[in-house]
Amino acid sequence: MGMIILDTARNATTYFWGKRTSTIDWCEENYVVSDYIAEFWNCVTNGVFVAMALFGIAGAIKHQQGKRIVACYMGLLLVGCGSACFHATLKYTTQLLDELPMLYLCALGFYSLVEADRTVRFGWKLPAALISLQAAITITYIFWIQSPVFHQAAFASTVCASVAFGYRRQCEMEISNRTRRMFQRLLLQGFLGMAGGFFVWNLDNIFCHRLRTYRSHLGSPFDAFLQLHGWWHILTAYGSTYLLLWVHLTRLARQGHDHLFTIRHFVGFIPHITLKTAKKID
């Protein structure tokens, strides 16, 4: 998601990963901080995705909170790793590794919301439909419509559909006021993270040349604070994590486990669900 920018900081023949083949280049100057990483700050800020995902996976396995929840956190991990690879290399193949897992993660979240009850409602039909849809989007994006706008539209549509369906299921449930407040707080935090990230992402695109001028005046290391695409990664990592917690909470509440859990923050900033009584939920 973004615009193509011509980087003149170094000659393309000197790039460690060779000439850029991605359809997108971001506002961060290429190969300025490191000879081996094309967009250093855009790459390393994906560590927030990785940290959130690894902690979520570890907690879900420790408290036996379900294979689907583990799969969702693994999807978040793939998003972070794919994005880091893309910004490190600026190759078209790694660009796909960045963009496509975002769609697959949304599909996993949607499946977890639909099949949140103890009994499976749709059997193999829902996974087959979701896999077919994602395969169609993937093939179309790779072979026919190689425009980031197509990916953005598909991603936004999947997110909106998932949130709308999950909110509808939430309204149908008979839950305690405490659980309802937690639902509202997680949705709000998820929305603020995603909206804040989208805001700075647009600022980075629209005011790129001005931001580059400001960064050149500030110099290292303070110029890193104006790498707004890196802030997009940080904010959307938080937004995505809170939305995954919302999916997780919806599943627990649908199965009658809302009295067994609480939400805490590891070292003050990594949110996770902790069950008061470890109980396996498949």
Binding residues: 25-26, 28, 30, 39, 87, 229, 233
How big is the chain, counted in residues?
282
**Which residues make up each annotated binding site for Zn(2+)?**
87, 229, 233
CA distance 258 to 275: 9
Which one, of 10, 8, 7, 16, lies nearest residue 35 by Cα? 16
* Binding-site annotation: residue ranges for Ca(2+): 25-26, 28, 30, 39
- Three-state SS at 84: helix
Asked if 248 contacts 273 with a C-beta cutoff of 8 angstroms, the reply is yes
Q: How far apart are CA 193 and CA 127, in angstroms?
A: 29
Calculate ∠ Cα 233-198-33, nearest 5°.
40
Round to whole Å and give the CA distance between 203 and 229. Answer: 9
Residue (of 52, 5, 13, 51) closest to 29 by Cα position: 5
Is the bond preceding 271 in cis, omega lying within 30 degrees of 0?
no
Residue 2, CA distances (Å) to 22, 74, 148 in order: 11, 25, 7
Between the alpha carbon of residue 107 and those of residues 123, 132, 228, 245, the distances in Å are: 16, 11, 28, 15
What span, in angstroms and rounded, lies between the C-alpha atoms of 171 and 174? 8
**Hunting for tokens 């290292």 — which residue is that?**
220
